[in-house]
Amino acid sequence: MTSKGVIAVTSVINEGIPAPTVVTLQNLVVIGLQWGDEGKGKLVDVLSGSFDIVTRFQGGSNAGHTVKVGDDIYKFRIIPTGAVRGKKAVIGNGVVLDPNVLLEEIKKLESAGVNVDLLISDRAHIITLYHIEIDGLQELSKGERKVGTTKRGIGPTYSDKISRSGVRICDLLETSDANQWSLAKESLIKRIESLHDSTPQSDPEETVSAIRKLIASPNCRIGDSGEFLDAEIEKGKRVIFEGAQGALLDIDHGTYPFVTSSNCVSAAAATGTGVSPFKIGNALGICKAYMTRVGAGPFPTELDDIIGERIRELGKEFGTVTGRPRRCGWLDLVALRYAVRINGVQHLAITKLDVLNGINPLKFCVAYIQDGVETTSLPANAETYSRVEPVYREVSGWDEIPTGQSIDYANLPQSLQEYLSIIEAFSKAKVAILSIGPDRVDTIMVPGTPFEEFKDA
């Protein structure tokens, strides 16, 4: 590290954490602060015991959220994870919905004894089989420059939404004029033909019949998510807004073009449900104790060595949706500080701390060297970002973290507490929750934070 680097880093620490202004947690946005898979599903499950309603607001079946309760493991794609606890679940207008995946998910949950009670926004855009085909063809045509998407039709569906040629749930209700669907179909066929020089392989009417099944399902009601949620919040009901993906995959603020096609920062909770941002109030940022990424794109702290391999194996870092091995690396505090700022996060949940057991020393990135100059800003351009060199610092690791029902913050290893203090100092947010295993019970609420109220949720 350069002597200039030391000064910059010290000044970052000395700035301290701003005093949190959170007073109540009636509503909460739970958001990923990295490249997805931070453990949002687990945290929403833990917290939703104290909430009434859980809603998704962006993304679609590119998400894979895992909940573990004892021996039972639930994997969610579209349904908010609070459904495990029988909570009212809402799919907001900002979600892109694959009806076949949703029907399958409802079936699986019901057969596991979970009663699904779902409100789906009539304004949500539909992923058709054509969109999925186009996703695959676009990736193919990009060759070396491919994004490494989940091939679930996410990008093409959001493209149609923005270009005003998409098809929404409300367009397929019995009472609707079928014109929007016919126009959308025509334009999709043309796109497939231009990409592949052949006709589409799939039958679009399959999507329509899946939507009809959903509409007729006793588990689902179609309506205005904003009107419903707003009325419930006014009655004093508590709502969790469950983010998908993460800040570094955000279409505006992520590592473009290696991103997803939606805004996945906290602001999207408002636009993606139709609830005013001023009524939502608070966001909890979820951050792994290290970094992972699936798919292509810059990753300054990526580890191509035995430590990266160890993290992948112990952390079971393989994609929930695609099964692809996740790329693993040291914690990047420059990126975390950026994600905290753009999300307005005051509190953090640090997950997968147990995966770092026995790694000594632990490194973390505190600055980048970009073209010979040290910076704590994220370059906008992906090619520039892929060339930055991380500036590392290190701390001693810990051997083991005590687990079980009676985990006490004060009994945690000293070196772990030091690692958390460093995270706070750089990110400018307070660590409020620690996750030390995949199960609901492997969670510690940090004393003195507003999240202590969820200790016995």
Minimum distance from residue 39 beta carbon to ligand GDP (Å): 4
With binding defined as CB under 6 A, does residue 285 bind ligand IMO? Answer: no
Q: Is 37 a catalytic residue?
A: yes
Q: What are phi and psi of 150, to 5 degrees?
A: -80, -5
**The one catalytic residue among 45, 65, 98, 332:** 65
Q: Which residues, 6+ apart, have CB-to-CB distance to 40 below 8 Å?
A: 30, 31, 32, 65, 242, 243, 244, 286
Q: How far apart are CA 333 and CA 420, in angstroms?
A: 12
Report the residue number, 37 or 374, with the smaller CB distance to Mg ion.
Answer: 37
| Separation of alpha carbons 287 and 289, rounded Å | 6
Amino acid letter, residue 327: R
The interface region with ligand GDP, picked from 46-54, 61-69, 173-181, 412-420 by CB under 6 A, is 61-69
Site string for ligand IMO, 224-253 (x = CB under 6 A): --------------------xxx--x----
- In the chain, count H helices and then E strands: 14, 20
Q: Give the C-alpha separation, 218 to 180, whole Å.
A: 26
In whole angstroms, the minimum distance from the beta carbon of 34 to ligand IMO comes to 9
Choose among ligand IMO, Mg ion, ligand GDP, none what residue 352 binds, the Cβ cut-off being 5 to 8 Å by kind.
ligand GDP
Q: Counting contacts by CB under 6 A, is residue 34 touching ligand IMO?
A: no
- Contact call for residues 20 and 281 (beta carbons, < 8 A): no
Contact 30, 288 (CB under 8 A): no
Candidates 95-103, 123-131, 264-272, 430-438 — which segment interacts with ligand GDP by CB under 6 A?
A: 430-438
Chain-centroid distance of CA 200 in Å reads 31
261 makes contact with ligand IMO (CB under 6 A): yes
Burial classification of residue 93, based on how many CB atoms lie within 10 Å of its CB (0-12 exposed, 13-18 middle, 19 or more buried):
buried
Q: Which 3 state secondary structure label does DSSP give 348?
A: strand
Q: What does the alpha-carbon distance between residue 376 and residue 356 come to, in Å, rounded to a whole number?
A: 25
Q: For residue 53, what is the enclosing H or E element?
A: strand 53-56
Q: Could you identify the residue written with the tokens 């695609």?
A: 322
Per-residue binding letters, 65-84, with ligand GDP (x by CB under 6 A): xx-x----------------
- Quick one: which of 29, 41, 48, 118 contacts ligand GDP (CB under 6 A)? 41
Binding of residue 450 to ligand IMO (CB under 6 A):
no
What is the DSSP secondary-structure string of 184-200?
A: HHHHHHHHHHHHHSS--
Among 83, 96, 101, 147, binds ligand IMO (CB under 6 A): 147
Instruction: Output 65 or 87, the one with its CB closest to ligand GDP.
Output: 65
92 binds ligand GDP (CB under 6 A): no
442 catalytic, yes or no? no
Residues that bind ligand GDP (CB under 6 A): 32, 36-42, 64-66, 68, 315-316, 320, 351-352, 354-355, 435-438
Residues that bind ligand IMO (CB under 6 A): 32, 35-37, 62-65, 147-150, 152, 154-155, 244-246, 249, 260-261, 294-295, 320
What is the set of active-site residues? 37, 65
